[in-house]
Amino acid sequence: MALPRHHLLFLVAIIMLSFADSTVPEDPLLLFHEASSKDNNFIMQSTHVLNLKSFDKLGQISSSPKMVNVNDYGARGDGKSDDTLAFKKAWEETCSSGRAVFVVPQKNYLLKPITFSGPCKSNIAVQITGTLEASDNLSDYSKDRAHWLMFDSVQKLSVKGGGTIDGNGNIWWQNSCKRNQKLPCKKAPTALTFYKCNDITVEDLTIKNGQQMHVSFEESENVIVSGLTVTAPEDSPNTDGIHITNTQNIQILNTVIGTGDDCISIESGSRNVQATKITCGPGHGISIGSLGSGESKDFVSGIMVNGAKFFGTTNGVRIKTWQGGSGSASNIKFQNIQMEKVTNPIVIDQNYCDQATPCKKQKSAVQIKNVLYQNIKGTSASDVGVQFDCSQNFPCEGIVLQNIDLQHEGGREAKASCNSVQLSYRGDVNPQCP
Annotated catalytic residues are 284
Give kind and range of the element (H or E) at residue 374: strand 367-380
Q: Which residues pair with 368 in a beta bridge?
A: 329
Q: How far is CA 89 from CA 104, 129, 159, 268, 317, in A?
A: 13, 19, 18, 35, 43
User: Is residue 164 within 8 Å of 197, Cβ to Cβ?
Assistant: no
Please enumerate in sequence order all residues whose Cβ is within 8 A of that of 46, keeping only pairs 6 or more positions apart, or say none: none
127 — phi, psi (to 5°)?
-110, 105
Q: How far is CA 7 from CA 1, 2, 16, 334, in A?
A: 12, 10, 15, 52
257 — phi, psi (to 5°)?
-135, 130
Question: How buried is residue 339: exposed, middle or buried, by Cβ count under 10 Å (0-12/13-18/19+)?
Answer: buried
User: CA-CA distance, 15 to 6, in Å (whole number)?
Assistant: 15
Question: How buried is residue 105: exposed, middle or buried, by Cβ count under 10 Å (0-12/13-18/19+)?
Answer: middle
Q: How far is CA 120 from CA 63, 71, 125, in A?
A: 18, 21, 11
Give kind and range of the element (H or E) at residue 340: strand 326-342
User: CA-CA distance, 379 to 406, in Å (whole number)?
Assistant: 5
Count of CB atoms situated within 10 Å of the CB of 9 = 11
User: Is residue 426 within 8 Å of 403, Cβ to Cβ?
Assistant: yes
Q: How far is CA 236 from CA 233, 255, 355, in A?
A: 5, 20, 18
Report the candidate in 173, 176, 182, 126 with the shortest Cα–Cα distance to residue 154. 126
User: Is residue 226 within 8 Å of 254, Cβ to Cβ?
Assistant: yes
16 — phi, psi (to 5°)?
-65, -40
User: CA-CA distance, 102 to 120, in Å (whole number)?
Assistant: 13
Largest separation between any pair of C-alpha atoms in the chain: 103
